[in-house]
Structure formats: C-alpha cells, structure tokens
Amino acid sequence: MPNVPRSIREAVHPVHRAGWPFITITIVLALVLGVFWQAFFWLFLISAGWMVVFFRDPIRVSPNAPGLVISPADGRVEPLVTAVPPVELGLGPELRQRVSVFMNVFDCHINRAPVAGRVTKVAYKPGKFFSADCDKASEENERNGFVLETAEGDRIGVVQVAGLVARRILSWTNEGAHVAQGERIGMIRFGSRLDVYLPEGSVIVVATRQRAIAGETVLAHLPGAAPQPPYPFRVD
C-alpha cells in the first residue's frame, strides 16, 4: 500500500483471511434476502460490519526480550490463580501460576506467542462450552494447548479455551516449530479465553481486570529475569 498515507494504514486494520468467507457469505445473504425484505438487508449488512471488526488483524509492536511473557490475547485479565495445567500438556501435577485473558466478541481474536521458543507440544481436547469467564471453563471446555520452551529452558503452557459462543479453535503452528515472541499462533471464533501457565518463580506484573493487548502487554517475568524497559521490539 505504498500510495496510502501512513495515518490511514495505521487507523484501518487489515482483515485476516480466515474471516473473508464469513464476511462474503453475510454480504451475499444481505443482497439476496434484502430483495424480499429490506430488514434482512440491514440485518446482514450490520452483521458483516461486525465480522470485519471481529476478524481484524492489527499490526502489533511486541517487546522482544528474554525473560518477558507477553499477552497472547486481547481482553480482560481474569482473577490470578494457581492451578494444575491440563494433563495433556505434560507439564506435571504441580500447581502453577495462571494468568487468563478473557476475550469478548468485540476483542481482536488473533492469538500470539507469549515467548520466543520451540513448540514442544500441541494438544487438542474436546469438551463443553461453558461461558469462558467461568473458572470451570479451563477444566471442562473444549481447548487446544501449546507448550513453548524458551532458549533458557523455561516451559510455558498456553491454552486456547472455547467459550459459550466460540465453536472453532484454530491453530497455526505445529510441534517442533520455532516461534518468535508475538508471532501469530491461532485464533478462536467467537469469544473465548487464553490461559498462560507460568514456571515456578515467575513474577506476574499485571492486575486482575486490567486490559491486555495481544503481543504487547507484559504479563510476567520468568524466573530469575528482571528485564528493564526500553525493550527491544519486533513489528508484526
């Protein structure tokens, strides 16, 4: 987009390709059904506009420093708890600090890697569809989990949890892949949460009900790390 002013490029977010089939179908329904009843036209046109917002894929400036754990999702930080990671991740039976970020249907739903490292595990588990802001959602809902191992040997669990409306979890990485901090790793349709299980000794630096930005908000420092801003960064 070389001829488009920078201010416009920054204000208008691109739409992720995963959203275009839904947007196209909704616009076609608006045009076809609108012939029979005008209310259908406006209903589906408004729905298409909402989907453009839902599937937006904004550029993010990610802190890119060893020892930082950044948010994998846009949304609200849920109450901070200690919990045993899902058994399918193979992280052991010990309690870990868990930071959860709840995404409502108006949040950007692109999920990003909280740390740089190797994907040592990807595990999907079918389940129920309780509201994603309930504690039992982490244990009983459909989910897809990743284990990321940093160059320093820390292992972090990242779990995509489906919600009441969410019925499709998308994963864009595989076991053995190396991901950059802030890299896109998946998304969930429509409304859900991300759980991050931290190694023992990590220091959480966010608060309950704080708004988090995927790929930008620092959630925690890993054990023994105390990185100080300004951080190096990557733009993606």
Active site positions, annotated? 192
Determine which of 10-19, 24-33, 213-222 has the lowest per-residue pLDDT on average.
10-19
Q: How many CB atoms are located within 10 Å of the residue 49 CB?
A: 13
Site of tokens 């504690």: 135
Q: Is the pLDDT of residue 6 over 60?
A: no
Rounded distance between C-alpha atoms, residue 54 and residue 228, angstroms: 34
Domain spanning 63-235, CATH architecture = Distorted Sandwich (2.70)
Share of the chain above pLDDT 90, in %: 47
Q: Is the pLDDT of residue 146 over 90?
A: yes
Rounded distance between C-alpha atoms, residue 161 and residue 228, angstroms: 31
For 165-204, write each residue's pLDDT tens digit. Answer: 556 788 899 999 999 999 999 988 766 889 999 999 999 9
* Cβ 169 vs Cβ 143: under 8 Å: yes
Q: Are strands 61-63 and 184-189 parallel, antiparallel or unpaired?
A: unpaired
Q: How many CB atoms are located within 10 Å of the residue 10 CB?
A: 10
| One-letter identity of residue 111 | N
Coil vs helix vs strand at 177: coil
Q: Which structure tokens are listed for 166? A: 């969410």
* Cβ 85 vs Cβ 99: under 8 Å: no
What global pTM score does this model have?
0.83
